[in-house]
Amino acid sequence: MEKKPLYHFLPGSKLLSFGTVGCNFDCAFCQNYTTTQVNKNASSLDWVINRYSQKITPKDLVDLALSQKAAGIAYTYNEPAVFVEFARDTAKIAKRHGLKNVYVSNGFESPEAFEYMHGLIDAVNVDLKSFRPEFYLTVCKARLEPVLENIRSFFTAGIHTEITTLLIPGENDSPPELTDIASFIRSVSPDIPWHISAFFPAYRLTDIPPTSYSSMLSAYRIGQKAGLRYIYLGNVRDPQKSATYCPGCGQTLIDRQTYRTSLKNFSPDSGTCPRCGEEIAGVWH
Ligand SMILES: [Zn+2]
For 8-23, write each residue's pLDDT tens digit: 999 999 999 999 989 9
Predicted TM-score (pTM) of the model is: 0.96
Q: Tell me, in angstroms, the distance from the centre of ligand 1 to residue 279's CA.
A: 8
Q: Tell me, in angstroms, the distance from the centre of ligand 1 to residue 245's CA.
A: 8
15-242, superfamily in CATH? Aldolase class I (3.20.20.70)
Q: Tell me, in angstroms, the distance from the centre of ligand 1 to residue 271's CA.
A: 11
Please confirm whether the linkage preceding 5 is cis (ω < 30° from 0).
yes
Q: Tell me, in angstroms, the distance from the centre of ligand 1 to residue 243's CA.
A: 14
Answer whether 87's CB lies under 8 Å from 118's CB. Answer: no
Q: Tell me, in angstroms, the distance from the centre of ligand 1 to residue 210's CA.
A: 35
Q: Tell me, in angstroms, the distance from the centre of ligand 1 to residue 233's CA.
A: 21
Q: Tell me, in angstroms, the distance from the centre of ligand 1 to residue 179's CA.
A: 26
Q: Tell me, in angstroms, the distance from the centre of ligand 1 to residue 164's CA.
A: 25
Q: Tell me, in angstroms, the distance from the centre of ligand 1 to residue 254's CA.
A: 12
Q: Tell me, in angstroms, the distance from the centre of ligand 1 to residue 222's CA.
A: 22
Q: Following DSSP, what letter does each residue of 171-194 receive, concatenated?
A: TT--HHHHHHHHHHHHHH-TTS-E
Residues of the chain whose pLDDT is less than 70? none
CA atoms within 13 A on the CB side of 210: 9
Helix axes 145-156, 175-188, angle to 10 degrees: 30
Q: Following DSSP, what letter does each residue of 208-221 receive, concatenated?
A: SPPPPHHHHHHHHH
Give the model's pLDDT for residue 35. 85
Q: Tell me, in angstroms, the distance from the centre of ligand 1 to residue 104's CA.
A: 30
Distance CA 73, CA 77 (A): 13
Each domain of the chain, given as residue ranges in start order, spans: 15-242
54 burial class (0-12, 13-18, 19+ CB within 10 angstroms)?
A: exposed
Q: Tell me, in angstroms, the distance from the centre of ligand 1 to residue 230's CA.
A: 13
Q: Tell me, in angstroms, the distance from the centre of ligand 1 to residue 280's CA.
A: 9
Distance CA 147, CA 105 (A): 10
Q: Tell me, in angstroms, the distance from the centre of ligand 1 to residue 196's CA.
A: 24
Q: Tell me, in angstroms, the distance from the centre of ligand 1 to residue 183's CA.
A: 24
Q: Tell me, in angstroms, the distance from the centre of ligand 1 to residue 242's CA.
A: 17
Q: Tell me, in angstroms, the distance from the centre of ligand 1 to residue 276's CA.
A: 4
Q: Tell me, in angstroms, the distance from the centre of ligand 1 to residue 278's CA.
A: 5
Q: Tell me, in angstroms, the distance from the centre of ligand 1 to residue 251's CA.
A: 6
